[in-house]
Each structure stands twice: as C-alpha cells, then as structure tokens.
Structure 1
Amino acid sequence: MTQNQAGSVVLVLGGVVFLLMLISGNPLLSLGHGDTQMRFATRRRRVILEAEEAAPREARSALEALSTIDPRALRDAAFIQTSARVYERLVYAELIRLFPGFSIREEMVDGSDLTIATPDRSMLSVELRELTSPVSAAMVRQILGIAAASVAGALLVSNQRLTRAADDLLRRAQENGSKAFFVQWRDENDTDALKGAVIGALREVGGGGPS
C-alpha cells in the first residue's frame, strides 16, 4: 500500500510506453501525467549536425547513441554520410598519431581519400570506406584500379572484412604484382593492424617505414 499513487501510475505508464518503443522502433517524444512530465526526445538532425562539428571520437559516440535510441537513423542518408565522414576523420587522426614523421594529406590523389608520403618521398594512396556489409569484390576492383593508376601503392581501409570473393580477387592480384592492400579498422583495437598494413604496404612499394 502506498500514498504515492501518481508516481506509481507514471512508472506503469512509462513502462508500457517504453515497451511500445521497443516493439515499434519509434522514439518517445513526450509523456506526461498531471504535473509530472517525462521527455525523451530524439533530435536526429541536431545530433547529426553536432557530430559534423565535434571531435571524431565524440562524434562517433553520439552517432552510436543515436542509432541505438533511434534505429531508423541507420537508414537516414544524412546519418550515413555523416557517419562515413566521421569514420574518415577517425582513421586520419589515427594515422597522424601513428606516423608523426610522415606527411598525411586529405587530398584526392588518383581518386583516393588520403595520401601518405614518407620523408624519402615514397607514397601510398589510402581509400577509406565505412560500410554496413562486408567489402565486395567490386570495391576491391576499385582499389586495384587506383593502385594501377598510381605510381604508389593503394591501401583500402574499411570497418568491414572482405568477402571470400573479394579476398580471393585481391590475393590473385597481389600475386600478379598489384600493389593494392587491405586492412580492417573498426576502432582503437585494430590500431596494430592498421600500423602493420601501412608499414607493409610502404615496404612493398619501396618506401620502408618505421619499425
């Protein structure tokens, strides 16, 4: 028995609404009972715009939280584009941290997103792709084309793994002399893999690199 009847009603009503949110996937915009007002607003556009200006890690955290609260954001073109740009900024920042002695430029060279240049002027083109499914053979063909058109090697960095067909295609191309490479980078846990891929690619194209 309790005298807090209004509070009990709000808790029960709140539980029902959150259950409906879970089932429908729709965000809760407002809920009130008398003088008690609960507000839980998913302001998708505001979060996306703020993510554009925020530091990369903060932006990723905000976008991940948004996608959890508002699953429909994953199908929003603005969300997808911003998430891809945030991923690019994260990889760029990680490369700057890993290779302070290299010149890493955000320029479109040979159709790639970044260019890494060593002090001895060896170069590596880097293509960045945040995807929602494994890297396809078609995308590997793109990186093979970049590598063929460039005097440097080309490294594809993605948050997804290669499909079996893509892996087979890349391996065969490398056996035939292609200077195209791939590494999966999702977050800081993959930093060693990213560093190793850059060093290995530079060695293959004659640039050496830090140990």
Structure 2
Amino acid sequence: MTKNQAGSVALVLSGIIFLLMFISGNPLLSLGHGDTQMRFATRRRRVIEEAEEAPPREARSALEALSTMDPLASRDASFIRTSARVYERLVYAELLRLFPEFSVSQEGIDNSLFDISVVTPDRHVISVELKALQNPVSTSVVHRLAGVVAISITGGLLVSNQRLTRAAEEALRRAQESGNKISSVQWRDESDSAALKGAVLGLLREVGYISSNGH
C-alpha cells in the first residue's frame, strides 16, 4: 500500500523490462518514466570506442572485461571489428619486441594481401596474415595463404587466436610437403610468444636466412 503511485509504476515497469531482458538476452537501451531515465547499452559502445584509442594491452583487458560482464558483446559487429584491430596491434607490438634487429611493418609487402611484414637486414621477408576469429581456422584460410605464397619469394605465416581445424592442419601439411613456404601459429597472448618467435625463425630458415648467431 502506497500513495507514491508513480514510483510504484516505475518499479513494476522496471521489473518487467529486466525480466524481458533476461528471457530475450537483449540489452536495455533506455527506459523512461517521467524524469526517470535508465541507460545501459551505451556502456558497451563507450568501452569499444575507448578500446580503439587505448594502448593494445589496456584495450585487450577492457574488451575481455566487457565480454565477461556483457556476453552479448561478442556478437556486436563493432566489438568484433575492434577486437580484430586490437589483436593486430598486439601481434605487431610483440613482433617488434621479439625482433628488434629486423624491420617490422604493419603494412605487408602487398598491402592487400598481408597485415604485417618482417624483413631482415639482408632483405629476407616473412609476410604475416592475422586472423582474430570466433571459431577455429578453416581450410579456406590455409588455401588462400598457400596460393599467395606459392607465387611469391616470401615466407607466409598465419597467426591466429584460434587453432586450425583438423582439415586445415592437413591442408597446411600438404602445402608444406609440396614446397610451399608457409606456417601457422596460434597466438593468444604473451604466453604463446615463444611459439611465435619459433615460427618466424623457422620460416626465415626456409627462405634462406642465416643470422650471425646461427639462429
């Protein structure tokens, strides 16, 4: 029993909206009742926009926190695009750290085909294709990389946050056995950096590079 009918209506309406959100999984964009305004989905947009400008590690932490608090964020097109860009910046920064003696560029030798190029002082090149995916890497990605590298003198490295499917692993193995200088490595964070470095060095040996220290 209350005389505050407007307040009671607002509470009931809010409860209904939250119940619908729970059932449907959709975020609440806004709710107004008189002077009462509630806005929630703008938080997702704000986090994504700030991640675009933040240093890559901070951006990664922010996006991970957002996806934990807001599971539907991973289906948001802007979240997916920003996550891919942040992933590219992370891999680029890690390659710079791992290979200070090389020239590492965020533009491939052919900008339309690769995301990063790693060039040794004597001009041996590893072209890197990045894939930040929601699912394991498919055979079509491997076939595309193999086709491009087959007509070039560079080595081709696929770096993804996801593992290869079994079919993609088999396609990669067949391409390598046919003489195609390609490789793949899963890189999710700095714990995978030893594998990333090993993949780059292995391809450099494939294309004829021998460093001064024998690595």
**TM > 0.5:** yes
2:71 corresponds to 1:71: yes
Rounded Cα–Cα distance in structure 2 between residues aligned with 1:108 and 1:152: 11
Match of 1:4 in 2: none
Instruction: Report the 3-state secondary structure (helix = DSSP H, G, I; strand = E; otherwise coil) of the residue aligned with 2:140.
Output: helix
1:67 deviation in Å? 1.0
2:101 corresponds to 1:101: yes
Q: Which TM-score applies when normalising by structure 1?
A: 0.81
Instruction: Report the 3-state secondary structure (helix = DSSP H, G, I; strand = E; otherwise coil) of the residue aligned with 2:137.
Output: coil
Is contact 1:27-1:42 (8 Å) kept? no
Rounded Cα–Cα distance in structure 1 between residues aligned with 2:189 and 2:164: 17
Q: Which TM-score applies when normalising by structure 2?
A: 0.80
Rounded Cα–Cα distance in structure 2 between residues aligned with 1:46 and 1:40: 11
Please give the residue correspondences for 1:51-90 in structure 2 after superposition, counting only pairs within 5 Å.
51-90=51-90
1:20 deviation in Å? 8.6
Rounded Cα–Cα distance in structure 2 between residues aligned with 1:93 and 1:120: 22
Instruction: Report the 3-state secondary structure (helix = DSSP H, G, I; strand = E; otherwise coil) of the residue aligned with 2:202.
Output: helix
Match of 1:153 in 2: 155
* Letter in structure 2 aligned against 1:51: A
Rounded Cα–Cα distance in structure 1 between residues aligned with 2:164 and 2:92: 21
Match of 2:132 in 1: 130
Instruction: Report the 3-state secondary structure (helix = DSSP H, G, I; strand = E; otherwise coil) of the residue aligned with 1:43.
Output: helix
1:28 deviation in Å? 7.3
Match of 2:45 in 1: 45
Instruction: Report the 3-state secondary structure (helix = DSSP H, G, I; strand = E; otherwise coil) of the residue aligned with 2:135.
Output: coil
Q: For structure 2, list consecutive stretches of 5 or more residues without a partner in the other structure.
A: 1-16, 31-37
* Letter in structure 1 aligned against 2:153: V
Rounded Cα–Cα distance in structure 1 between residues aligned with 2:131 and 2:123: 25
Q: For structure 1, list consecutive stretches of 5 or more residues without a partner in the other structure.
A: 1-16, 31-37
Moved over 4 A (4+): 17-30, 38-42
Q: How far does the alpha carbon of each residue in 1:148-173 deviate from its partner, in whole angstroms, 9 at most, with x for none?
A: 13211100000111111100011011
- Assess, with a 3 A threshold, how the Cα gap between structure 1 residues 157 and 23 changes in structure 2: closer, same or farther: same
Is contact 1:125-1:155 (8 Å) kept? yes
Is contact 1:130-1:160 (8 Å) kept? yes
* Letter in structure 1 aligned against 2:94: E
Is contact 2:108-2:128 (8 Å) kept? no
| Stretch of structure 1 that moved more, 21-30 or 194-203 | 21-30
Rounded Cα–Cα distance in structure 2 between residues aligned with 1:195 and 1:19: 50
The Cα RMSD (Å) is 2.6
1:109 deviation in Å? 2.6
Instruction: Report the count of equivalent residues.
Output: 193
Is contact 1:179-1:205 (8 Å) kept? yes
- Assess, with a 3 A threshold, how the Cα gap between structure 1 residues 166 and 41 changes in structure 2: closer, same or farther: closer
Match of 2:189 in 1: 187
1:146 deviation in Å? 2.2
Rounded Cα–Cα distance in structure 1 between residues aligned with 2:131 and 2:96: 18
- Assess, with a 3 A threshold, how the Cα gap between structure 1 residues 118 and 45 changes in structure 2: closer, same or farther: same
